[in-house]
Amino acid sequence: MGSNTRYGLSDRTNFVGFKTVEQVKYDKKAPCFGIEGSAGEELTGITRIDEKVHLAGNMSFPEQFVFSLKLERPRGWCFIAHEGGFTKTVDYSKRLKLSQGLIFEVYAGNKGERVSIKYVKVIIIKTDV
């Protein structure tokens, strides 16, 4: 089970975030990896960042993904605490313009897919850099 869902933040122009993939693709792709592109009604101009990984054993689809984005130097992490854990670190080339405000966006893999989110927790930490 699973889907090719994309989660992230946009400034209404640029998007940075992560894609989760179906369990049947875990032999060629990480359970989650970085993506960036142009935000809008559809996510376009998508760049995949470090999507390949080979996992040991038969990893099942995790019930929870944790995404963390650091925006001053665009970097992110996706983490699953599942079967020994898995973390993917991503460096983004796109920068979001904080002055335009940020939007949490979710994109399905295609028009026929539906995305269901049970729970979202957002924590914003401002640091002096």
Chain segment 106-126, per-residue pLDDT in tens = 998 777 777 778 888 888 777
Per-residue pLDDT, 1: 39
Q: Is the pLDDT of residue 56 over 60?
A: no
Per-residue pLDDT, 59: 63
Q: Is the pLDDT of residue 81 over 80?
A: no
User: C-alpha angle 3/79/60, rounded to 5°?
Assistant: 50
How many helices (H) and strands (E) are present in the chain, helices listed first? 0, 8
Contact (CB, 8 A) for 9 and 16:
yes
Predicted confidence band at 129 (pLDDT cuts at 50, 70, 90)?
low
Q: For the chain, what are the domain ranges?
A: 6-107
Q: Is the pLDDT of residue 99 over 70?
A: yes
Give the residue among 102, 84, 86 at the shortest CA–CA distance from 94.
102
Read off the pLDDT of each residue in 11-20 and give the average, rounded to a whole number: 94
Predicted confidence band at 55 (pLDDT cuts at 50, 70, 90)?
low
Q: Which is it for strands 6-10 and 14-20: parallel, antiparallel or unpaired?
A: antiparallel
Q: Which ranges constitute the DSSP H helices of 9-122?
A: none
Beta strands in 64-122 (DSSP E): 66-70, 75-80, 86-91, 103-107
Per-residue pLDDT, 60: 64
- Three-state DSSP state, 100: helix
